[in-house]
Copies of this chain bind each other. A is one copy, B any other.
Amino acid sequence: MQRRPFLATLGATAAAFTTGARAQEPRRAGKKLGWALVGLGTLSKNQLAPALQKTKHSRLAAIVTGTPAKAKEWQEKYSIPDTHVYNYETFDKIAENPDVDVIFVVLPNSMHEEFVIRGAKAGKHVFCEKPMANTADECRRMIAAMKEAGKQLGIGYRCQFEPHHRECMRLAREKVFGPLKFIEAGFGFQIGDPTQWRLRKDLAGGGALMDVGVYALQACRYLTGEEPVEITAQETKTDPVKFAEVDETISWSMKFPSGVIASVMTTYAFNGANFFTAICEGGRFGMDPAYSYGGLKGWTSKPEVKIEFPAIDHFEAEMDAFSQAILEGKRFEPAGEEGLKDLLAVEAIYRSIKEGKAVKVETV
Contact = CB atoms under 8 A, between A and B. Distances in A.
Nearest to A273: B279
Contact of A284 (B252, B261, B272): B272
A280 B269 CA distance: 11
Contacts of A236: 255, 259, 261
A56 interface: no
Give the secondary structure class of A's interface: strand
A300 B18 CA distance: 61
A233 interface: yes
Contact of A233 (B184, B232, B283, B356): B232
Query: How many subunits of this chain does the assembly comprise?
Result: 2
Chain A interface size band reads: 35 or more
Contacts of A155: none
Interface string A259-282: 101011101011111000001110
Contacts of A259: 236, 238
A232 B279 CA distance: 22
B270 A182 contact: yes
Interface of A: 181-182, 184, 186, 190, 230, 232-234, 236, 238, 249, 251-253, 255, 259, 261, 263-265, 267, 269-273, 279-281, 283-284, 301, 355-358
